[in-house]
Structure 1
Amino acid sequence: MFFTRYCLGAAVGLFFSAVTARAQLITDPTQATAARDTLFQQADMLRERVQQTTPKFTVSRKGLAQQRHVVKGRTGELTSNVASTTPLSVAAKSSKWRHRTIHWYNGTTEERFKLKQAGRTVLREKRINGVVTWLQLQPLLYKKSHSGSYLREGYLVLDGKFYLLPKVPQ
C-alpha cells in the first residue's frame, strides 16, 4: 500500500515538474477553487445531460447482484446548439456511457463513470463514497467546452493552466 502511494506520488510529481517547466503553477486558493468548481460543474452538467437524454439503458448485475451494478446507455447527440454545414452520421453523433458501482465489504462504495463520444473518451470519473477522487474531462467534439483533470491530492489542470488546491486540514 505504501509503495503504491509512493509510486503514484512520484509519478504525479515527475509529471507536474516536467510540464510546469513550461507553465506557471497557480497556487492562489481562490483561483484554484474556482477552477475546480468550473471543472466539476462542467462534468456534472455533461453527465446529467447524457443520462437524461438516454432513451433506453441496460442494467447488468452479475453473481449475487448486490455487490456490483453496471448501467450502460447510448444517447442520440450532444450537439444540439451547433450549426454544422457538414452533416454528421448518427454513429458519429451518438455517445455511449457506462456507470459502474461496486459496494465493497468494508462499507466503501466506488463509482466509475465513462462517457465516449464518437469512439473518443470524453469524461472519466471515479468517486469513493460520493466524493470525486479522480476526474478527466476532454473537450467535446462538436461543441466548445472545458477540458482538464483533477486528482484528489490537490492537483488540477483546467484548459491548460495548472493549479494547486490548498490543503484541507483533516
Structure 2
Amino acid sequence: MFYRLGGLLALLGLLAAPAHAQLITDPARAAAARDTLLHQAAQLRLRAEQTSLNFNTNARGRYRRRVVVTGFSRQNSGTLPTAGVRQMQWVPDNVAWRHITRYRRNGRVMERYRLTMGHQTLLSERRLNGTIIWLSIPVAYSNAMGTAVRHRGLYLRTGYVMLDKDQYVLPKPLQ
C-alpha cells in the first residue's frame, strides 16, 4: 500500500508546477502556443503516414463500430556493397502509429491517434466529431522520420495549453 502512495505522491510532484511558473493569459501568445502545438502534431502525423510501408485494418465488414488502423514505417539506412552487388539494407526505426475510430449509437465519432518510436510516445491525440479535445507531445526533441520536434506540450479543449515550461490560458468564446 505504501509503494502505491509513494508512486502517487511522486506523480503529483512531477505534475505540480514549479513555484515560479504562472499562467500566461495573453490571448495572442496563448493562441500562438496552441497553433505551434497543432502544427507540429500535424507535421508528425503527416510524415508518419507518408512514410508508412503498409497499414493493417480490421474494417472488413460494412457496419463496424470500432475501426482500428495500424501502420509502421521504416527508413533506408543506406546501401551496403556485398560481393560487388549493391543491396539495400532496411533497418526498422520502430515508428508505429495507431488510429482507432469509434462510431457511437448517438452519432458521435470518437478518434484516438498514437504515434510511437520504440517505447517512446511521440504524439497522442483524441478527437470528438473531428475536433481535437486532447493533444500531447511528451518529448522535447526527436528527429523521428526526418521531422524535428522542437517543442513538447499539452493542449486541452477546455482552454489550457502547456508549451515547453510555459502554461497558457486561452480566452473563452463569447456565447
CA distance in 1, matches of 2:142, 2:39: 19
In the TM superposition, 1:6-25 aligns within 5 A as 18-19=16-17, 21-25=19-23
C-alpha distance after superposition, 1:126-158 (max 9, x if no partner): 000000000001234334422100111111101
Relative to structure 1, the CA distance from residue 110 to residue 144 in structure 2 (aligned partners, 3 Å threshold; closer, same or farther) is closer
CA distance in 1, matches of 2:99, 2:54: 14
- Greater helix share, structure number: 1
Q: Does 1:102 align with 2:102?
A: yes
- Which residue number corresponds to residue 147 of structure 1? 152
Q: Secondary structure at the match of 2:105?
A: coil
Using structure 2 for the length normalisation, give the TM-score. Answer: 0.74
Match of 2:29, as an amino acid? Q
CA distance in 2, matches of 1:76, 1:157: 31
Q: Secondary structure at the match of 1:146?
A: coil
Q: Secondary structure at the match of 1:90?
A: strand
Q: Secondary structure at the match of 2:20?
A: coil
- Which residue number corresponds to residue 165 of structure 1? 170
Distance apart, 1:63 and its partner CA: 7.8
% identity of equivalent residues: 43
C-alpha distance after superposition, 1:95-140 (max 9, x if no partner): 0100000010000000100000122111000000000000001234
Bigger radius of gyration, 1 or 2? Answer: 2
Worse-superposed segment, 43-52 or 136-145: 136-145
Instruction: Structure 2 unaligned segments of length 5 or more: list them.
Output: 1-11, 78-89
Aligned-residue CA RMSD (Å): 2.4
In the TM superposition, 1:1-170 aligns within 5 A as 18-19=16-17, 21-61=19-59, 65-77=63-75, 90-91=91-92, 93-139=93-139, 140-142=141-143, 143-170=148-175
